[in-house]
């Protein structure tokens, strides 16, 4: 007896069969009705809804089987049906069919002879089993077209019932999964240190986590709808309401700081944020939001801001006191006046540089323009303006920012250059001026100081003063650059060639990590 060969993709077929959740379920009227009707219409003693599993045939519904609920797969006619690849299999006389002649159900009880079955095929094409009739008498004429049609229609009905069952099963699993995900969400939301809430697309609040009720102390459910707005500080309510309405209308991210009333009546600064959840068409289905208590953070920030302002004031004040101290000390020693004046001017240049150093708080920002190299140099050279207030040191080229580490060096370098120019160079002559060009050149920043219109330079000065040493030290020692002086006949030209990072070393260090 040749057993029915396995259908192609047998593993997938079995998976599909089990997914319907039909196997080993109890009798159901819908299937019983179908097999009864089929048996009567065929005037046959046996009819089955027969599902073929890996090693057995199992009857979902049956008539005339004397309590049998299935058979082994080897002896099953329906197993041959599904292996045939066709939709219907008709065996007029099993005794003359090589596939069934020695089948125990043919040779022994119940001595089956006739078989007609229609495969139960899923929409994906998997054959789960067959709807069939058996007779113990041979039917040489096979089946009529009407009987064929009846088999087909009723098999379709069985599959429709199966599909319905699968849909219900999937839905139940979906509901279960949803309930599980909902309880997971609540567990996460309730364990968060933040307040979490959610609204319908129109902004109606219908969910708050445990933290919200813990913080506000209001009874559960009492802030549903629009009740939340009353929890805000009266001065913040209108602003928060307007911002929230704007987000609801535009779908824009909601973000705002307001004071929220805690259960003890204290208003705490809170960061409120919310974003919309959209469906596949882009329509908003929900808003999810959080409230974060930022009161401590805000206080700390204010304290820090206050402290840095205070420090900035003190540093600048110290420069003023030192400068005054030098001037006062020199009054007792008239012979030291020139010396004191030089020191004082250097101190003042340092103080000016520190005013332009980043970072700045809102209040410590200098009065003019940006805190860049050019604005600082402009301020430093303001004292050298001509009789009409026009600058005599003209600054051109690419600007840069500088930090406190570079401030001292930059201030001393240009203070010395300008002081020297005013004493001996271009700024000592009525029509003379200086051109200061700054440019970025790859990883270098180059500043070129060109004096024009001063007294003619006849020879290189033999002696270098302290101011010159100070300028060299600033560039080559502190800034890690190179300083080159050229005494051209038309005037002094000084080039300071710095690493591009020298002006903002701290920022460069931050960037590279």
Distance CA 116, CA 134 (A): 7
Measured torsion, CA atoms of residues 248, 252, 253, 259, in degrees rounded to the nearest 10: -50
Minimal distance in Å, beta carbon 312 to another protein? 7
347 binds another protein (CB under 8 A): yes
Q: Which of 23, 242, 385, 441 binds another protein (CB under 8 A)?
A: 385
Q: Which of 209, 247, 270, 348 binds another protein (CB under 8 A)?
A: 348
Site track 182-221 with another protein (rule: CB under 8 A), x = hit = ----------------------------------------
Smallest CA-to-CA distance from 407 within 310, 495, 505, 313 is with 505
Distance CA 80, CA 134 (A): 14
CB 286 within 8 A of CB 311: no
For residues 68 and 325, which CB has a smaller minimum distance to another protein in the complex? 325
**Token pair for 150:** 């009846």
358 binds another protein (CB under 8 A): no
Q: Which residues pair with 495 in a beta bridge?
A: 448, 484
Minimal distance in Å, beta carbon 351 to another protein? 5
**Token pair for 484:** 């080159």
For residues 259 and 392, which CB has a smaller minimum distance to another protein in the complex? 392
370 binds another protein (CB under 8 A): no
For residues 236 and 355, which CB has a smaller minimum distance to another protein in the complex? 355
CA angle 347, 352, 356 (to 5 degrees): 145
For residues 388 and 456, which CB has a smaller minimum distance to another protein in the complex? 388
Minimal distance in Å, beta carbon 344 to another protein? 6
305 binds another protein (CB under 8 A): no
CA angle 192, 196, 197 (to 5 degrees): 160
Minimal distance in Å, beta carbon 497 to another protein? 30
383 binds another protein (CB under 8 A): yes
CB 247 within 8 A of CB 254: yes
**Token pair for 87:** 């939709």
Distance CA 471, CA 421 (A): 13
Distance CA 256, CA 269 (A): 10
123 binds another protein (CB under 8 A): no
266 binds another protein (CB under 8 A): no
For residues 264 and 388, which CB has a smaller minimum distance to another protein in the complex? 388
Q: Which of 80, 205, 352, 374 binds another protein (CB under 8 A)?
A: 352
Instruction: Say which residue the tokens 């919310």 belong to.
Output: 274
Q: Of the listed pieces 4-12, 111-119, 157-165, 338-346, which binds another protein according to CB under 8 A? A: 338-346
Question: DSSP state, 277?
Answer: E
177 binds another protein (CB under 8 A): no
CB 106 within 8 A of CB 112: yes
Q: Of the listed pieces 100-108, 286-294, 345-353, 438-446, which binds another protein according to CB under 8 A? A: 345-353
Q: In what order do the strands lie in the sheet with 267-278?
A: 205-208, 195-199, 284-293, 267-278, 254-261
For residues 229 and 312, which CB has a smaller minimum distance to another protein in the complex? 312
Q: Of the listed pieces 156-164, 268-276, 292-300, 343-351, which binds another protein according to CB under 8 A? A: 343-351
Q: Which of 18, 171, 246, 382 binds another protein (CB under 8 A)?
A: 382
Return the H-helix or E-strand segment holding 205: strand 205-208
For residues 163 and 386, which CB has a smaller minimum distance to another protein in the complex? 386
The torsion angles phi and psi of 38, rounded to 5 degrees, stand at -65, -45
Question: DSSP state, 460?
Answer: -
Minimal distance in Å, beta carbon 325 to another protein? 6
Q: Rg of the chain over CA atoms, in angstroms?
A: 47
Q: Which of 366, 453, 490, 499 binds another protein (CB under 8 A)?
A: 366
| Binding positions for another protein, rule: CB under 8 A | 312-313, 316-317, 319-325, 327-328, 331, 341, 344-345, 347-348, 351-352, 355, 360, 363-368, 382-383, 385, 388-389
């Amino acid at each position: 007896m040749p057993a029915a060969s396995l259908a192609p993709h047998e593993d997938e077929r079995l998976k599909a069969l089990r997914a319907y959740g039909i196997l080993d379920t109890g009798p159901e009227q819908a299937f019983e009705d179908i097999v009864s009707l089929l048996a009567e219409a065929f005037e046959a003693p046996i009819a089955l809804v027969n599902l073929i599993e890996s090693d057995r045939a199992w009857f979902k519904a049956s008539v005339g089987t004397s309590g049998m609920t299935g058979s082994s797969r080897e002896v099953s006619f329906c197993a041959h049906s599904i292996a045939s690849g066709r939709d219907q299999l008709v065996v007029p006389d099993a005794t003359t069919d090589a596939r069934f002649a020695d089948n125990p159900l043919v040779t022994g009880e119940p001595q089956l002879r006739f078989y007609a079955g229609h495969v139960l095929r899923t929409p994906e094409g998997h054959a789960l089993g067959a709807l069939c009739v058996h007779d113990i008498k041979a039917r040489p004429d096979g089946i009529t077209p009407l009987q064929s049609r009846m088999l087909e229609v009723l098999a379709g009905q069985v599959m429709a019932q199966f599909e319905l069952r699968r849909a219900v099963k999937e839905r139940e699993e979906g509901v279960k999964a949803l309930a599980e995900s909902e309880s997971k969400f609540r567990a996460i939301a309730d364990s968060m240190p933040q307040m979490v809430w959610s609204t319908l697309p129109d902004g109606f609040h219908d969910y708050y986590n445990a933290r919200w009720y813990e913080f506000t102390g209001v009874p559960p459910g009492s802030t549903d709808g629009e009740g939340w707005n009353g929890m805000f500080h009266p001065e913040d309510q209108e602003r928060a309401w307007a911002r929230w309405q704007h987000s609801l209308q535009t779908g824009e991210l909601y973000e705002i700081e307001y004071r929220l009333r805690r259960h003890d009546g204290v208003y705490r600064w809170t960061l409120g944020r919310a974003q919309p959840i959209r469906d596949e068409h882009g329509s908003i289905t929900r808003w999810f939001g959080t409230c974060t208590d930022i009161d401590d953070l805000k206080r700390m920030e204010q304290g820090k801001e206050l402290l840095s302002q205070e420090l900035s004031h003190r540093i600048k004040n110290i420069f003023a006191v030192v400068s005054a101290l030098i001037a006062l000390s020199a009054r007792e020693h008239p012979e030291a006046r020139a010396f004191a004046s030089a020191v004082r001017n250097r101190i003042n240049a340092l103080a000016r540089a520190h005013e332009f150093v980043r970072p700045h708080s809102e209040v410590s920002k200098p009065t003019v323009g940006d805190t860049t190299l050019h604005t600082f140099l402009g301020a430093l050279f303001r004292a050298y303006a001509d009789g009409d207030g026009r600058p005599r040191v003209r600054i051109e080229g690419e600007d840069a920012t500088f930090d406190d580490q570079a401030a001292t060096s930059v201030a001393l370098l240009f203070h010395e250059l300008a002081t020297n120019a005013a004493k001996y160079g271009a700024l000592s002559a009525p029509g003379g001026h200086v051109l200061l060009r700054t440019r970025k050149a790859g990883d270098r920043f180059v500043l070129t100081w060109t004096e024009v219109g001063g007294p003619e330079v006849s020879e290189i000065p033999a002696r270098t003063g302290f101011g010159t040493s100070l300028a060299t030290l600033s560039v080559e020692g502190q800034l890690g650059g190179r300083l080159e002086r050229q005494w051209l006949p038309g005037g002094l030209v000084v080039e300071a060639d710095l690493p591009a990072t020298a002006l903002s070393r701290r920022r460069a260090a931050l960037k590279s990590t």
